[in-house]
């Protein structure tokens, strides 16, 4: 149990589908992230939210749409994805302004396959 819970753990979707990934953190943190992890590549930062406000969007295509209704919940809405979007999507959180606040804590990830 990492304190960051992601659902679903596995998702298969067609290119015309719309689906959402959900993340909930139970750590009382004030920053949340979406990362993409593809085979043999470094983790790619997608979005950052600080205190529910989006502070970074790393040139992510508009077919990925984040939503952060409060400090504990983060969504990634998916629509008209491409097969190359198949990857492990990781949610993470951090408590800014504390000792060790540079460290982030990850969820177990959502395995996405686009067919």
Partner 1 sequence: QKEVEQDPGPLSVPEGAIVSLNCTYSNSAFQYFMWYRQYSRKGPELLMYTYSSGNKEDGRFTAQVDKSSKYISLFIRDSQPSDSATYLCAMSAPGSARQLTFGSGTQLTVLP
Q: Residues interacting with partner 1, by CB under 8 A? A: 2, 4, 6, 31, 40-43, 45, 48, 50, 55-56, 90, 94, 96, 100-109, 111
Q: How far is the CB of 20 from partner 1 (least distance, A)?
A: 19
Whichever of 44 and 67 has its CB closer to partner 1, that residue is 44
Q: What is the 3-state secondary structure (H, E, C) of 13-57?
A: ECCCCEEEEEEEECCCCCEEEEEEECCCCCCEEEEEEECCEEEEE
Measured distance CA(80)–CA(74) in Å, rounded? 20
The strand order across the sheet containing 18-25 reads: 4-7, 18-25, 73-79, 64-70
Q: Which is nearer to partner 1, 16 or 102 (CB)?
A: 102
In total, the chain counts a number of residues equal to 115
> What's the Rg (C-alpha) of the chain?
13
Closest distance to partner 1 from the beta carbon of 27 (Å): 12
Residue 75 or 111: the one with the smaller Cβ distance to partner 1 is 111
User: Closer CB to partner 1, residue 75 or residue 105?
Assistant: 105
CB of 39 to partner 1, least distance (A): 10
């Amino acid at each position: 149990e990492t304190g960051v819970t992601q659902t679903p753990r596995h998702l298969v979707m067609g290119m015309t589908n719309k689906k959402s990934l959900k993340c909930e953190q139970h750590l009382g943190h004030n920053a949340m992230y979406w990362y993409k992890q593809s085979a043999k590549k470094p983790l790619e930062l997608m979005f950052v939210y600080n205190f529910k406000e989006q502070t970074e969007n790393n040139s992510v295509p508009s077919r990925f749409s984040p939503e952060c209704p409060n400090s504990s919940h983060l969504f990634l809405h998916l629509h008209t994805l491409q097969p190359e979007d198949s990857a492990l999507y990781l949610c993470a959180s951090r408590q800014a302004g504390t000792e060790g606040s540079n460290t982030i804590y990850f969820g177990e990830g959502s395995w996405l396959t686009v067919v």
